[in-house]
Structure 1
Amino acid sequence: MKYAMVFNSQLCIGCQSCSIACRSENKVPDGLYRLRVKIQGPKGLFPNLIFDFERFSCQMCEDAPCVSVCPTHASFIDENGIIDIDSDKCVGCLYCIGACPYNARFLDTKTKIPNKCNFCKNTHLKNYGEPACVSVCPTSALIFGDLNNPKDPIYDVLNNHNYVRRKEHLGTKPKLFIIPNKKGEISYE
């Protein structure tokens, strides 16, 4: 398997259900986040106001800087393409936090181990087949699937929508695909 996620910002309503489910499922300490949805706006003039929604989380890069800088191999990519952390191997150097170009990692104040989204691989994904954020999204703005399976619904979404990947120019090959809420030219730094 090669797990990936699509964030369709055209369907997102900014309800924060995904962030709440993530915090609850993964026992994320207050003030820290595995995922956030930033809301920008409103833009335009009443009654034609729009908001932009942007998801910030691990991009599940295929060529992950956070993995390559880890001196103990505590940060690794598993057999399903999920970037994870082996807390038994971590020495707390925090190189992975500094190397992530997406600012998706944080130091867990309770465990003193770097933390990040891992698609709820040991909890919700293992028990229900999808991350907690996907299961609670009321508008189906999040699609999770296997890029190695042409029959997976994620395939249809990627084949029928324009999408971008954040900071793709860095060569990290992120597997979080974003369907932007914009018309015309699309650019992400």
Structure 2
Amino acid sequence: MLSGSDADDRSDYVRRVRNGDDDAFAALYRTVAPRARRTAYRIVQNADIAADLAQEAFCIALEALRTGRGPDGSFTGYVLAITKRLAYRYCALARRTVPLDEAEWEQRPSDTPLPDPAAGAAAALATLPPRWRDVLWLIEVDRYSPAELAAPMQMSPNAVSSLASRARRALRLAYAAAG
């Protein structure tokens, strides 16, 4: 079993995971997962959601290690950083969700059509230039990173990130204007 404070052991385990050793990742998981769950819980204040976020952080870390990315040093710090990012993103999305009171929903006339958010999003997306649509699709749907898209797009990773940011902003504005 991997000790909680032995960073050298963790680096050895990280090297083993990169070489395909699933047992090494299981040892890392057993050691770091409780701390990741506690970290997420401090942010989201829900044990089930915290467990889900910690699990997702480990999935991201495993994928990174298997593809030759990820940490060389502090595996714990790496997983905790991912966990925090996921937890803060979850909280930000939860704040944007407006719960509709059940009584208010029942008072809504049944013949009033519900808005179709997908149609609005599709219409807003259609207003964007093709290059912006492409970069949004590749980054948001296909989950490519700007670094992975840089060479095929003949741009630097920072330029791809900036292009995606401008495209997201334009999509938000187009969606708001249509709605």
Instruction: Name the TM-score, length of structure 1 as normaliser.
Output: 0.24
TM-score after normalising by structure 2: 0.25
Question: Which structure shows the bigger proportion of residues in helix conformation?
Answer: 2
Query: Which structure features the higher share of strand residues?
Result: 1
RCO comparison, higher one (Cα < 8 Å, 6+) = 1
